[in-house]
Amino acid sequence: MKRWFERQRYFMDFAIASLARGKVKNTSLVLCYALVVFLIASVLFFSASIRHEAVSVLENSPEILVQKVMAGRYAPIPLEYAEKIGEIPGVRRVVGRLWGYYFHPAAGANYTVMVPTEEEIADDTAQVGLGVVRTWRVADGGMIRFKAYDGTAVALAVKQAFGAETELFTSDLILISETTFGKIFGIPEAMATDLAVTVRNPREWRSVAEKIVRVAPDVRAITREEIQRTYASIFDWRSGYVLVLWAGAVLAFLIFAADRASGMGAREKNEIAILKAVGWETSDVLSLKFWEGLIVSSSAYLIGVIAAYFHVFFFPAPLFEHALKGWSVLYPKFAAAPVFDLYDLAAVFALAVVPYSFISIVPAWKAAIADPDAVTRFS
């Protein structure tokens, strides 16, 4: 066994010396290869972290939400629906929620404006998230002005209510009182944006949701389970950006492998012929080529995965910010929780390292079985 290890080390020595002869070419190859691994690993790290964070935190979202749909669009829901729904067995509580969106032209950002159901807020005050403070350029204690539905201005004193740790969920939130909400959006009294239904027994969620739709046929019921399932599939490989990135990475790995499979140039054929002439076995040549491939691909894999880890978990994935932000102005600043799936890393390893290490064996074998005299004479 010791002899086998020592033999492999000699192959490694020789493979590295051979790679070092094309230092610039092979260094660039490792860096490009590492960049592809970095990109795909960054996406995997980021998406696993966001999925985990969203699914685990949204365990506490409302059990069932009821939206009124009119002509295929949402419409405010009359609070009398709450009474009908409240009579369904298993329903503990039905609360009307008031929330909506406000676009501030000067900041160019969309904000979520909400009325909290559990607490009172003074009519002249707005409790805001950090993203609002940043994009509206207002400090704690300053004033923000809304243009109401009837054209009047509504000025509110700002209170920064949420810290950096909840920014992923509260960055664009503006909490105001029910009276102020009515003043800004003009929603009629006895109407709500939607209804939050409390059903304690998770096994009853689905049946209660079905009963709600039977009691009020013009509504749609969304269960907590559906909310969590939506986020469990976010950044799914079929979604546009991720599909393009995966396709690009797979193609890049294929190109690297194809280049290696077909790239047995005259110099390498000559080298193999000389090795055969001085007494190397065909299996030795194949081992040498395997080690060359493994050294390049495993180095690129390790560099790429480590760089991706730092990119996502130590910095807030700055390369993705642009894509995630899209045309929006407001983007939360948050550190992704270090959660990942080892299966994903194994898949990238299988894709990046295995084909590249083994693909050159066939052309190397073809070169190794050729007559050394003929190869060296005609090269």
Q: Which of 61, 176, 65 is nearest to 114 (CA)?
A: 176
- Which helix (H) or strand (E) segment holds residue 64: the answer is strand 64-70
Q: Enumerate residues 330-369 that contact another protein by CB under 8 A.
A: 330-332, 337-340, 342, 345
Q: How far is CA 303 from the centre of its chain?
A: 21
Q: How far is the CB of 378 from another protein (least distance, A)?
A: 31
Q: Among residue numbers 157 through 216, which ones bind another protein (CB under 8 A)?
A: 162-163, 165-173, 175, 194, 196
DSSP per-residue codes, 85-98: HHTSTT--EEEEEE
* Residues in 28-47 at the binding interface with another protein, rule: CB under 8 A: none
| CA–CA dist 311, 20 (Å, integer) | 29
Measured from the CB of residue 377, what is the shortest distance to another protein in angstroms? 31
- Report 254-313 residues binding another protein (CB under 8 A): 295, 298-299, 302-303, 305-306, 309-310, 313
Could you say which residues in the range 82-111 bind another protein, by CB under 8 A?
95, 97, 101, 109-111
Phi then psi for residue 266, to 5 deg, are: -60, -35
Nearest to another protein of 69, 143 (CB atom):
69
Tokens of 240: 């546009």
Give residues 48-77 in contact with another protein (rule: CB under 8 A): 50, 53-54, 56-62, 65, 67, 69, 72-74
Stretch 128-147 residues interacting with another protein (CB under 8 A): 129, 131
Residue with Cβ nearer another protein (220 or 370): 220
Report the b/e string of 76-110 with b at 16+ CB within 10 A.
Answer: bbbeebbeebeebeebeebebbbbeebebeebebe
Structural tokens at position 253: 């790995």
Tell me how far apart the alpha carbons of residues 349 and 342 are, in angstroms, rounded to a whole number. Answer: 10
One residue of 27, 230, 262, 283 binding another protein per CB under 8 A:
230
* Cβ nearer to another protein, comparing 62 with 372: 62
Residue closest to 168 by CA, chosen among 245, 234, 100: 234
Shortest approach of another protein to residue 179 CB, angstroms? 18
Residue 31: left (phi > 0), alpha (psi -120 to 50), or beta? alpha
- Alpha-carbon distance of 301 to 34, in angstroms, equals 6
Query: Minimum CB separation from another protein for residue 235, in Å?
Result: 6
CB of 299: closest distance to another protein in angstroms?
7
Nearer to another protein, 81 or 340 (CB): 340
For another protein, the binding residues in 304-333 under the rule CB under 8 A are 305-306, 309-310, 313, 323-332
Closest CA to 222 of 58, 359, 112: 58
**Which residue from 222, 261, 264, 370 is in contact with another protein, where contact means CB under 8 A?**
222
Of the two residues 71 and 153, which places its CB atom closer to another protein in the complex? 71
Shortest Å, Cβ 364 to another protein: 20
Rounded CA Rg of the chain:
31
CB 195 within 8 A of CB 59: no
Q: Considering the complex, what minimum distance in angstroms separates the CB of residue 330 from another protein?
A: 5
Nearest-approach distance from CB 134 to another protein, in angstroms: 12
Task: Please give the size of the binding site for another protein, defined by CB under 8 A.
Answer: 93
Minimum CB separation of residue 290 from another protein in Å reads 14
